Chain A
Amino acid sequence: GDSVTQMEGPVTLSEEAFLTINCTYTATGYPSLFWYVQYPGEGLQLLLKATKADDKGSNKGFEATYRKETTSFHLEKGSVQVSDSAVYFCALSDQKYGVGTASKLTFGTGTRLQVTL
């Protein structure tokens, strides 16, 4: 079945450091890929997405590129801030329910990011 593998955390960085959180996936067909963020005490928020190979999703300074050849969707940010401290989840949607209909999400285990001054 479908699966998502994320690098284990926690990841601790100083403010303004470069961030990479690795994500690889296994899926049949052509899934869409997502990064969600969960700030302390809050629910999940969609951070960015990519729906086909070579697409780059971006939001709030974060970027991730859908690499079909390496089945990866690594999250990057050039300069992290303390306010970026959160848990980041990589996810894929399976298209078995058909194009144009909602699909269930398969999540990675999450990576906790702690940014310090």
Chain B
Amino acid sequence: SAVISQKPSRDICQRGTSLTIQCQVDSQVTMMFWYRQQPGQSLTLIATANQGSEATYESGFVIDKFPISRPNLTFSTLTVSNMSPEDSSIYLCSWTGQGANEQFFGPGTRLTVL
């Protein structure tokens, strides 16, 4: 399966600032997903990112807070905007190939907001 990497692996940010997380896959993939894992909790899907179209956001997540880009079939970014301590989480990207319903995950970005 394709190898997926994320940058940064971790960051500590100040309240009110924004952070962009990058996700790179080493082969072309159809769909990419962004998840949030809050401390001690499970993963929650933020949005689905298809190349060439607007991301589809889950209930409770909005584009102004979590803008996503998907400029090509190997890359996506998630921005966490105007951060607050409640945004402290691990953010993970994942991918799936066409015809598959299993997902493969990146190593995650551990974000701490002070």
**Chain A: residues with CB nearer than 8 A to chain B?**
32, 34, 36, 42-46, 49, 51, 89, 93, 95, 100-105, 107-110
Contact = CB atoms under 8 A, between A and B. Distances in A.
B105 A102 contact: no
Interface string B96-107: 101111111111
B31 interface: yes
Contact of B107 (A43, A95, A100): A43
Contacts of B102: 32, 34, 46, 49, 93
B33 interface: yes
B29 to A, nearest CB: 9
Contacts of B98: 100-102
Nearest to A109: B42
Interface of B: 30-31, 33, 41-45, 48, 58, 92, 94, 96, 98-108
Q: By CB atoms of chain A within 10 A, which of B31, B58, B98, B102 has the most? A: B102
B57 to A, nearest CB: 12
A109 B30 CA distance: 27
Q: Which 5 A-B pairs have the closest CB atoms?
A: A43-B107, A44-B105, A102-B96, A102-B31, A107-B42
Contacts of B44: 107
Contacts of A108: 42
A107 B43 contact: yes
A104 B33 contact: yes
B42 A102 contact: no
Given A44-B105, A102-B100, A104-B33, A109 B41 contact: yes
